[in-house]
C-alpha cells in the first residue's frame, strides 16, 4: 500500500491540468501537502465524468507553502486558493476565541473540524458543497450537479455503518430532534447561513464532556446540524462508501478497508 501510494502521488502531479471556471458550479476541498495528490485525482475524475464547468475552491489545511501554491496554480489553473491568512481573518470575525473557545481549541487539535469552521465562515454566503479528496467519480454525478444548480436542503452520502462516535441518545438530547442514521460527510452540502455556531460550541463541549473524544466528531456535528430536516441522501447503489474491489456506480469514497483498493488499484484503473 505504501509503495502504491507513493506511485499515486507521483502520478498525480503528472495529470493534465484541470481548468477552474469563474461563475461556474462551486466545489470546496480542504486539503494540504499530505492530500493534494488525492484532491487532484478526485477533481480530474469529476471533470472526466461530467460535462459541467466547475469553480474549485482549494482551502488550506494549514500546510500550504509557496511551492504547493505553485503546484495548484499549474495543475488547477483558475482555482480559488484560500490561505490561512484569510481563514484566520474570517475566524477572528465570526468565531472569536473569547466567544468560541471550545471550537477554536478543538480546531487546532482535530483538523477535520476545519471542514466546518474554516469553510463555512468564508465570506461567500449560502450553500456550499465540500468534497473529501479520497474519492473517485466513475460516472456522471447527475444528482450532485442538480443539487449544485438549485440547492434547497442539505446533501450527504449514506454511510456503510453508523460512524458518529456518540450515542444517538446524547445527540438527540442536545438537538431536541431525531438523528438521521448513517450520514456520511465525504460529500456534504450545507447552508453556511443556517449553521448556529453557538449550538456547535455547546454541542462539542457537552459531547466530549459526557462521552469523550472521537475521530468522528465532525461527522456527528454535521448530522446534528441536519437533524431530522429534509435532505438529499445520495443513494448507496451509485454513491458508495467503503467500496471493496469494484468500479461500478458513480462515486466511491475510499474509507477504512477500501483504502487498500484505493491505493493499489483504483487510481491505476482510472488512469
Express each pLDDT in 34-87 by its tens digit. Answer: 999 999 999 999 999 999 999 999 999 999 999 999 999 999 999 999 999 999
Report the distance separating Cα 178 and Cα 133, nearest Å.
30
What are phi and psi for residue 164, nearest 5 degrees? -105, -25
pLDDT at 246: 72
pLDDT at 85: 94
Domains of the chain from N-terminus onward: 2-270 (3.90.550.10)
Mean pLDDT across the chain, nearest whole number?
96
Q: Compute CA distances 224 → 120, 170, 181, 200, 262, whole Å.
A: 16, 11, 11, 9, 30
Q: pTM above 0.85?
A: yes
**Could you report the average pLDDT of every consecutive run of 10 residues in the chain (271 residues)?**
97 97 97 97 98 98 96 98 96 97 97 98 95 97 98 97 96 97 97 97 98 97 97 97 87 96 94 91
For residue range 101-124, list pLDDT tens digits in order: 999 999 999 999 999 999 999 999
Amino acid at each position: 500500500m505504501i509503495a502504491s501510494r507513493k506511485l499515486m502521488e507521483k502520478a498525480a502531479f503528472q495529470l493534465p491540468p484541470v481548468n477552474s471556471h469563474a461563475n461556474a458550479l462551486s466545489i470546496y476541498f480542504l486539503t494540504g501537502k499530505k492530500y493534494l495528490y488525492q484532491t487532484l485525482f478526485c477533481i480530474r475524475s469529476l471533470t472526466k465524468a461530467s460535462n459541467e464547468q466547475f469553480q474549485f475552491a482549494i482551502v488550506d489545511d494549514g500546510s500550504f507553502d509557496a511551492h504547493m501554491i505553485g503546484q495548484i496554480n499549474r495543475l488547477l489553473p483558475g482555482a480559488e486558493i484560500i490561505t490561512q491568512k484569510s481563514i484566520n481573518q474570517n475566524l477572528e470575525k465570526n468565531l472569536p476565541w473569547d466567544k468560541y473557545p471550545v471550537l477554536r481549541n478543538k480546531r487546532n487539535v482535530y483538523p477535520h473540524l476545519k471542514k466546518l469552521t474554516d469553510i463555512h465562515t468564508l465570506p461567500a454566503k449560502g450553500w456550499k458543497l465540500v468534497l473529501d479528496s479520497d474519492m473517485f467519480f466513475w460516472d456522471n454525478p447527475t444528482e450532485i450537479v442538480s443539487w449544485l444548480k438549485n440547492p434547497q436542503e442539505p446533501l450527504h452520502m449514506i454511510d456503510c455503518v453508523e460512524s458518529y462516535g456518540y450515542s444517538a441518545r446524547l445527540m438527540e438530547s442536545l438537538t431536541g430532534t431525531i438523528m438521521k442514521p448513517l450520514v456520511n460527510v465525504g460529500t456534504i452540502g450545507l447552508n453556511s447561513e443556517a449553521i448556529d455556531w453557538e449550538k456547535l460550541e455547546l454541542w462539542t463541549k457537552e459531547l466530549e464532556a459526557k462521552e469523550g473524544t472521537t475521530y468522528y466528531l465532525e461527522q456527528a456535528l454535521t448530522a446534528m446540524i441536519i437533524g431530522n430536516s429534509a435532505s438529499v441522501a445520495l443513494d448507496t447503489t451509485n454513491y458508495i462508501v467503503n467500496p471493496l474491489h469494484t468500479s461500478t456506480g458513480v462515486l466511491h469514497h475510499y474509507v477504512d478497508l477500501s483504502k487498500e483498493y484505493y491505493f493499489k488499484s483504483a487510481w491505476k484503473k482510472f488512469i
